[in-house]
Chains A and B, each alone.
Chain A
Amino acid sequence: MSKSSPRRFAGKSTGTVTVIEARVHRSSARRAKLAFILTAVIVGVLAAVVAASYWHPIVALIVGALIGVPCGAAAWLLVRIWPVLQRLWWWATEIVLAVLLLTAWVQLANHTSTVVMLLVVALVVGVPAAIPPVRRQVKAWAWCLIVRHRLRVCFAQFIIANQSGSLPLILWARPTPVGERVWVYLRPGLSAKDLEGRLDKIAVTCHASTVLIERASETNAAYLRFDIKRREVLDARVNSPLVDQIDPTAPVSASPLTVPTALDLPDVDVPTITLPAQGKPAAKKPTNSANGSTPAADTSSAPDDDVSDWI
């Protein structure tokens, strides 16, 4: 459903491949116009009021218009290119990293010989690859980058949010021993309850084994924490610190036990039952009721006594 409607709208536009959904696009045009008018009017009036205390009111009005219109235009532009800014923001970390790497590469290429360059590259790539803890760290942080995009894919693709199509703010992510933990700020239209039914799909989208959601704030229901699990730390054996605290040379203390000798089935005759179980042997029942306990004390009567207590 969420997939078909944008396609229908997109069909109307003349075959151009738009990054932005048609619905969002339309409302963006409307919002841009609104932003232009509002900003122009408010800034213009404010500027005119200020200018009026220096010049003639008519001059002040013209000054106000001169200041208001460019401000409105700026606001219009901002709203129109907002989707692009949004995408730049989503990829900001990657962009910064790529720029840094490229700059370093170019600088290296310009200032050193090929041999030195190869050496540096070998070091930068080889050291993390060769040292497992460093490699794990790099991988963990790379997953943090990936998982934020995957979560956004979840929200955009199958978690239907609100009319304007605004996505939750995916805040920072950090690695945990089992995967990643991502903080998310929900926008109107979603709640933790809505997401709970889709945890399995989120896990699939994030290439993880399971996902858990917890509230990150006691006071704000919009602020959530996603725990994405793709590893298991709990299958290692945990040693008890008690073992290190004791003196293993302490003398053995064991009270004498009576050790039974009948350890095999043929050694045990029918009536010698060590368990004082009286529910099962039928022979013992009469003596029971004779002792004064309730005659109906057999297993068949279990459901009807004191049911309210046992439910």
Chain B
Amino acid sequence: MTSATPAPASGVPVGPGLSMFDPLFIGIDEFGQPVYLDVIYRNILAAGEPGGGKSGLLNNIAGTAALCDNTRLVLFDAKLVELGPWRDIADEFVGLDIDHGLNVLRRLLVVASNRYAWLLAHRRRKLAPTDGLSVIVTIIDELAMFSTVLGTKAQQEEFSTLLRGLVSLGRACGMPVVAATQRPSWDIIPASLRDLFGYRAAFRCTSLNSSNIILGQGWAEQGYTASDISPTNQGAAYLLAEGGVPRRIKAAYLTDADIYNIADYAAWIRRPAGARLDLGLAA
């Protein structure tokens, strides 16, 4: 039944020295064509049932960002293992500590407002690759842990509010947010936060309704429902991005070994200049 894997790697611009301003490869569509996302100017929400492949998609994005030039990673992962491999190259890695998470979000918001002030001073409205400012990618796995489980109710609400601020501000100043959650219904994430995510990836869901919550009302009736993804086909999703119509995609898959190899290599190419010199002399 399984057909041969198409070769998406041909002509895909990835590698060291890559920039977050380039389109980011995340997988193939149902016609076997590579699918790219403009992560930099969009926020992405991945959702779907447990084991659907959300963390796989997030790791793709984290891996590419890790290899990108002038890119900072801010990671939130209450499960520790999903984004943990990138903790050494991330500027911030938030595990189970919601206070830490709140502080990180507050810092990010200050950076965002400073960047807008900077853009204003330069008579511009949007960050460009030539500005030399770093891209700060915030990746949150299991958003629900921070918005409903960890900390007090007040902290959870503050987390949602700060995140809403970051999601709505970050887009044009090079601070995109990528988040994953199992079900983005109102009791998990406020609708006002959910609706700020421009790109949606719906991994397998159990009902038409859940799929509609992720992609938006009405898509299931038109035949675009993540409930028709086979439960054994992890990593397949409906992606609502450019074009306005959900596309079926299959996310690229990184094995654990791949992830750690990429993380090691990213740490190696990102090592401080001093360390480089030392090693150069030692070699």
Q: Which listed residue, B97, B192, B235, B254, touches A243 by the CB 8 Å rule? A: B254
Asked if B118 lies at the interface with its beta carbon under 8 angstroms from chain A, I say no
Closest residue to A274 on the B side, CB-wise?
A: B96
Closest to B268 in A: A250
Mask of A291-308 contacts with B, CB within 8 angstroms, 1/0: 001100110001000000
Contact B253 A196 (CB under 8 A): no
Q: Mark B151-195, 1 if CB is under 8 A from A, else 0.
A: 111100000000000000000000000000000001100111000
Complex Cα spacing A244 to B12, Å: 11
- Among B38-46, B108-116, B205-213, B220-228, the stretch that binds chain A is B220-228
Given the known interface contacts A177-B32, A212-B223, the answer about A236 and B6 at a Cβ–Cβ threshold of 8 Å is yes
Known: A196-B223, A238-B27. A311 touches B251 (CB 8 A): no
Asked if B117 is at the interface (CB within 8 A of a chain A CB), the reply is no
Chain A residue at minimum C-beta to C-beta distance from B156: A279
B218 vs chain A, min Cβ distance (A): 10
CB of B8, distance to nearest CB on chain A (Å): 6
Number of interface residues of B (CB under 8 A): 66
Check B154–A294 contact: CB distance below 8 A: yes
Given A236-B6, A288-B152, residue A311 in contact with residue B265 (CB < 8 A)? no
Contact A242:B64 (CB < 8 A) given known A196-B223, A199-B223, A248-B261: yes
Q: Is B5 an interface residue (CB 8 A)?
A: yes
Q: Which of the residues A196, A255, A275 comes within 8 Å of B221, measured between beta carbons?
A: A196
Partner of A238, one of B151, B232, B251: B251
Residue A114 at the chain B interface, CB threshold 8 Å = no
A297/B60 in contact, CB under 8 A = no
Contact B190 A253 (CB under 8 A): no
A245-B14 in contact (CB<8A): yes
A240 with B258: CB separation less than 8 A:
yes
Q: State A234–B1 Cα separation when bound (angstroms).
A: 11
B267 within 8 A of A: yes
B49 CB within 8 Å of chain A? no
With CB as the reference atom, state the residue of chain B lying closest to A212: B223
CB contact under 8 A between A242 and B254, given known A178-B30, A278-B152, A310-B190? yes
Contacts of B3 in A (CB 8 A): 177, 231-233, 235-236
- Find B252's partner among A178, A199, A239, A279 (CB 8 Å cutoff): A239
Q: What is the chain A residue whose CB lies nearest that of B233?
A: A235
Tell me the complex Cα distance, A177–B16, Å. 33
A252 interfacial by beta-carbon distance below 8 Å:
yes
Interface of A is mostly: loop
Instruction: Please report the C-alpha to C-alpha distance between residue A232 and residue B232 in the assembled complex, in whole angstroms.
Output: 13
Contact A233 B97 (CB under 8 A): no
Give complex CA distance A77, B258 in Å.
Answer: 72
Q: A233-B30, A239-B9 in contact; A277/B236 too (CB < 8 A)?
A: no
B149: chain A residues within 8 A (beta carbon):
275, 277, 279
Contacts of A255 in B (CB 8 A): 87-88
Is there a chain A Cβ closer than 8 Å to B272's Cβ? no
A105 → chain B closest CB, angstroms: 35
Residues in A182-239 with C-beta less than 8 Å from chain B? 196, 199, 210-214, 229, 231-239
Find out whether the CB atom of B63 lies under 8 angstroms from the CB atom of A236: no
Q: Tell me whether B253 and A278 are in contact (CB under 8 A).
A: no
CB-CB under 8 A for A242 and B28, given A233-B6, A235-B1: no
Tell me, rounded to whole Å, the shortest Cβ–Cβ distance linking B203 to chain A: 12
Confirm or deny: A11 has a beta carbon within 8 angstroms of a beta carbon on chain B: no
- A95-107 CB mask vs B (1 if < 8 Å, else 0) is 0000000000000
Q: Tell me if B264 counts as interface (CB < 8 A to partner A).
A: yes
Q: Give the distance in Å from the alpha carbon of A275 to the alpha carbon of B95 in the complex.
A: 10
Given contacts A210-B228, A234-B233, A302-B187, 7 further A-B contacts (CB under 8 A): A196-B223, A236-B250, A238-B27, A250-B268, A253-B263, A276-B98, A277-B149
Chosen A-B contacts, 11 in total, with CB atoms closer than 8 Å, are A234-B236, A234-B248, A234-B249, A238-B28, A238-B251, A243-B254, A246-B67, A250-B267, A253-B264, A254-B88, A310-B187
Residues of A within 8 A of B (CB): 176-178, 196, 199, 210-214, 229, 231-248, 250-255, 274-279, 288, 293-294, 297-298, 302, 309-311
